[in-house]
Structure 1
Amino acid sequence: MPREIERKFLLKSDAWRGRVTGVTYRQGYLSTVPERTVRVRIAGDHAYLTVKGITTRHSRSEFEYPVPVADAEQMLALCEGPLVEKARYEIPHAGKTWQVDEYHGDNRGLILAEIELTSEDEKFELPEWIGDEVSGDARYYNSNLARNPFAAWAHS
């Protein structure tokens, strides 16, 4: 079974900027129940339908399939809540690729970095611009950002 193992972090500086060009993402959720999320995503010129299982520690089952962009556009209209809009930047560091997501729309002001790992116990080096880890904080899950955007809780 395919597994996604990732860790998420806030950023403490903009030192990552200027290194790469971002790709625009728009995504929505057809299901956000804890046992499964079903996401539709358009990333640049590509689109995907993704089904994810419940998260245990830092991993969960993940099934991702390419779909035609025109179909994804129509599925986004069926999604719950506002869409999650962001620019994603891929930044190499110490043999790994970090993904930095700069959110727009109702999540404007939020910037997260994540790293995908091959095991939950894999060791990795933190870039100097990485701040606090938020992997276990459900507020930062994209499916929750669709239902409860950053703008609604960031200053409370």
Structure 2
Amino acid sequence: MGIEIERKFLIDTDKLPPLTNSYTIKQGYIQTVDHTTVRVRIRNQDAFLTIKGKSVGASRLEFEYPIPLQDANDMLEALCQSSVIEKMRYLVEHEGHTWEVDVFERSNKGLVVAEVELDSEEEAFTLPSWVSKEVTNDIRYFNSNLVDNPYLNW
């Protein structure tokens, strides 16, 4: 069983180091009736279907499967909610952890967050100097919620 343990933070973009290691992400969500999330994601030219369970603290079940790129495009167009999230993801190494810095585009332009995946909720890690505030449990920052309530509407 896959479990994702992830913490999310707002960042001070003025303190970020130069961002170079990146890829594009386009993703949408297939509507569900409970706290399960079904995500369709295209990362550069690779496509994935991801099913995530309800968050409990910083943890939740996560299952991800590669799918054909054309299937992902068809799902984004026909099955996903009307809005699609587009962002550039940068990978930043900091003291033994890889931080994923997401710079959002389109209706979420201006939002920049960083996530770090952990092996356990108790795992110690050092915050980079560019981290400003933790938003792990703030549902406004869940990508699945940014579809319905984009950052530009806040």
TM-score normalised by L of structure 2 = 0.95
Q: Does 1:106 align with 2:107?
A: yes
Sequence identity (%)? 50
Shift of 1:19: 3.7
Alignment partner, residue 52 of structure 2 = 52
Gaps of 5+ in 1: none
Alignment partner, residue 134 of structure 1 = 135
Residues 33 and 17 of structure 1: CA distance in aligned 2, closer, same or farther (over 3 Å): farther
| RMSD, aligned CA | 1.2
One-letter identity of the residue aligned with 2:87 = K
Q: Is the CA contact 1:31–1:39 (under 8 Å) kept in the aligned structure 2?
A: no
Alignment partner, residue 120 of structure 2 = 119
Q: After TM superposition, list the pairs within 5 Å mapping 1:2-17 onto structure 2.
A: 2-17=2-17
The CA distance in 2 between the partners of 1:113 and 1:107, in whole Å, is: 15
Q: Is the CA contact 1:32–1:143 (under 8 Å) kept in the aligned structure 2?
A: no
Gaps of 5+ in 2: none
Q: Is the CA contact 1:98–1:114 (under 8 Å) kept in the aligned structure 2?
A: yes
Residues 100 and 34 of structure 1: CA distance in aligned 2, closer, same or farther (over 3 Å): farther
Shift of 1:22: 2.0
Shift of 1:12: 1.6
Q: Is the CA contact 2:21–2:92 (under 8 Å) kept in the aligned structure 1?
A: no
Shift of 1:33: 4.6
TM-score normalised by L of structure 1 = 0.94
Alignment partner, residue 69 of structure 2 = 69
Alignment partner, residue 23 of structure 1 = 23
Alignment partner, residue 81 of structure 1 = 82
SS across alignment from 1:54:
coil
State the aligned residue count.
Answer: 153
